[in-house]
Amino acid sequence: MAADRLQLQRFELKYVVPERIALQVRQFVSAYLDTDEYGATMPNLSYPVHSLYLDSDDLYTYRCTINGIKNRYKLRLRYYNEKPESPVFFEIKRRSNATISKMRGGVRRSSAGPIIAGQLPTPDDMLSKEPKQFYAIQKFCELMMAIHAKPISHVFYMREAWISTADNSVRVTMDREVLCEPDPTARLSTTMINPVRPFGDEVILELKFTTRFPDWFKELVRCFGLTQCGAAKYAEGIELTGSHNMMRAFAFDGESAPVKLSASGNDTKRIQKLSAGKVETITK
């Protein structure tokens, strides 16, 4: 397994830009950073990212975000495909004023469901014997149980990442094709049924740094006339979908792909299968 390049504590600035600007930013950034190893051989230098967000019945973490609470957190599971041997990462993302911090621990895919259901992890569930990863999942479970959090939303995007290999102090990411839909299950599927696109064809550009704001970041912002903004995928997805729709349950059609009941009781006809590098539309 490749080294974990997670920035445990950092500052991050977000911008929403059109694709033409994103391509120019790529060219600019390539003079300072290297392509992330996961995207280096992928189409458009991007790899798929799936996140299952957990929240309370009254959407506590979502409300903290839209109300601008300075000290808040999100609970999510991050995964990249459906392979049985692939890891699932339990992540806590906190914001304290302008600082972002993360804790995460990886588990075997088969262990994710029981942990969400309230079972504390055992050493056999873990991918790593590092105490900090075990502690991260214990903390995740503590926060989850405190607000009675459960699976709420599936968020997908294609990520292009650029990193400083020397010290991991600087990272630039560009997220495309952001999709979001309700998902009250723990199936950790890459299939989406009828997602919304909270950012349309726009690209979410994030500048991430752990210490001083690099001088060349300032030049990048100036050259492209960037305007900082909020771009919370989970929150924007709920805004577009409607919080009431986020709470609707799914019905499952036997062993086939999940189908969502519409107001008329008819099954939706379009299912989107998200695979590495593309969105494939499957019609029933």
How far, rounded to the nearest angstrom, does the alpha carbon of residue 66 sit from its chain's CA centroid? 18
Q: Does 262 map to a domain?
A: no
144, 54 in Cβ contact below 8 A? yes
Which phi and psi angles does 67 have, rounded to 5°? -90, 0
pLDDT of residue 246: 64
Q: Does 120 map to a domain?
A: yes
Q: Does 227 map to a domain?
A: yes
Task: Report yes or no on whether pTM surpasses 0.95.
Answer: no
- Which domain, by its residues, includes 105? 9-245
Q: Does 253 map to a domain?
A: no
201 pLDDT more than 70? yes
> Among residues of the chain, what percentage have pLDDT more than 70?
83
Q: pLDDT for 70-114, tens place per residue?
A: 899 999 999 999 999 999 999 999 998 778 999 999 999 999 999
Read off the pLDDT of each residue in 172-192 and give the average, rounded to a whole number. 96
pLDDT of residue 279: 42
Q: Does 163 map to a domain?
A: yes
For the chain, give the mean pLDDT. 85
184 pLDDT more than 90? yes
Number of structural domains in the chain: 1
Q: What is the CATH number of the domain that holds 129?
A: 3.20.100.30
Q: Does 265 map to a domain?
A: no
Which of 133-137, 215-219, 270-274 shows the lowest mean pLDDT across its residues?
270-274
- Report the C-alpha gap between 1 and 148 in whole angstroms: 33
- Report the C-alpha gap between 268 and 263 in whole angstroms: 10
Q: Does 222 map to a domain?
A: yes
Q: Does 254 map to a domain?
A: no
- Report the C-alpha gap between 70 and 63 in whole angstroms: 12
Q: pLDDT for 241-269, tens place per residue?
A: 987 766 654 444 333 344 332 233 333 33
